[in-house]
Amino acid sequence: MPLSPDQQADIDAARAATQQTRRATAPGLEEELFTAHEVLDHGFVRVVDYMGDDSAIVQAARVSYGAGTRHVSNDEGLIRYLMRHWHSTPFEMCEIKLHVKLPVFVARQWIRHRTANVNEYSARYSILDREFYVPAPDALAAQSTTNNQGRGDVLQGEEAERVLRYLREDSTRAYDHYEEMLSQDGQQGLARELARMNLPANIYTQWYWKTDLHNLFHFLRLRADSHAQYEIRVYAELISDLVAKWVPLAHKAFEDYRLGGANLSAKGVECIRRMLKGEDVTQETSGMSKGEWREFVNILDGADV
């Protein structure tokens, strides 16, 4: 359970209070504001604030293109046009702020998206809580035999048990020692900024994370993808659902053009042209490497790529 009763009471109180505003308001997201959506065993995502909605994207685009946008008759068509043609600046006019609780090894991947604002809980100043991510049995995957960064089958039996035992015991012991090293009971107590180094990467941290919609879509494209590590993908998928409630038209265009779409190389486009003319193109005649060809065929077959 990620929240204490006190924290839940604070959230309930925040949700109960409303103010009048002249700003653009997204009713679907208002409904979700402050609620902690659980992710993994101790994590959560909460929407803390947002700016703009679908109409804010349209409004910004119409400022840019002036009378030139009048021929696109409706908001949905204009948003799809912007997405299709990589006109990213109107999407930057929307902003969202999330409160996220997540394991450190997930945070380390996440932070590589540099175009966001972050305030992370500091283990120099304060003491971390005793909360560690331990995978559910069905997430305990073997190393893929074909993909250096992929997962294979779920571990079973003794092997699975031993992994779970190690993860639990090592984090428990590490945290016990963290507390002992920090303790000022009969001793000086090690500096927090040093003691933290004993903690493993499955400990939970938390942060406020704020980004604009364009960069959020980029994050979601990479992290809600089937190749992303499961432990970050569950966060991305939850956020994607929240974005659908916030800017439904933009989210739908994103799904069509980014998440569900495909990038073809010049060679790939050429192969399709030849195939549509009836030619039987093979890897050998495609000009592609084996890896490229395999990915290309997967696109055409509808396999997960």
Residue 258: DSSP 8-state = I
Contact between 41 and its own copies per CB under 8 A: no
Contact between 130 and its own copies per CB under 8 A: no
Judged by CB under 8 A, which of 137, 264, 285, 294 binds its own copies? 264
Task: Name the 3-class secondary structure at 256.
Answer: helix
Single out the segment in contact with its own copies by CB under 8 A; choices: 2-10, 19-27, 38-46, 238-246: 19-27
Q: Which of 204, 209, 277 is nearest to 1 (CA)?
A: 204
Residue 32 in contact with residue 26, Cβ under 8 Å? no
Query: Which one is catalytic: 165, 223, 233, 274?
Result: 223
Single out the segment in contact with its own copies by CB under 8 A; choices: 2-10, 37-45, 49-57, 238-246: 49-57
Contact between 170 and its own copies per CB under 8 A: yes
Q: Which of residues 233-252 bind its own copies (CB under 8 A)?
A: none
Does residue 173 carry a catalytic annotation? no
Dist CA 235 CA 134 (whole Å): 16
Contact between 136 and its own copies per CB under 8 A: no
- Closest approach of Cβ 8 to its own copies, in Å? 16
Q: Which of residues 207-236 bind its own copies (CB under 8 A)?
A: 207-208, 210, 212, 222, 229
Judged by CB under 8 A, which of 38, 41, 75, 92 binds its own copies? 92
Q: Which of residues 273-302 bind its own copies (CB under 8 A)?
A: 273, 275-276, 289, 291-292, 295, 299-302
Dist CA 195 CA 193 (whole Å): 6
Strand (E) or helix (H) holding 62: helix 54-65
| C-alpha dist (Å) from residue 91 to 78, 114, 250 | 12, 17, 8
- Closest approach of Cβ 3 to its own copies, in Å? 15
Residues 121-139 as b/e (b if ≥16 CB within 10 A, e otherwise) read eebeeeebeebbbbbeeeb
Q: 19: which 2 tokens?
A: 């103010």
Is 122 marked within a binding site? Answer: yes
Which residues are annotated as catalytic? 223
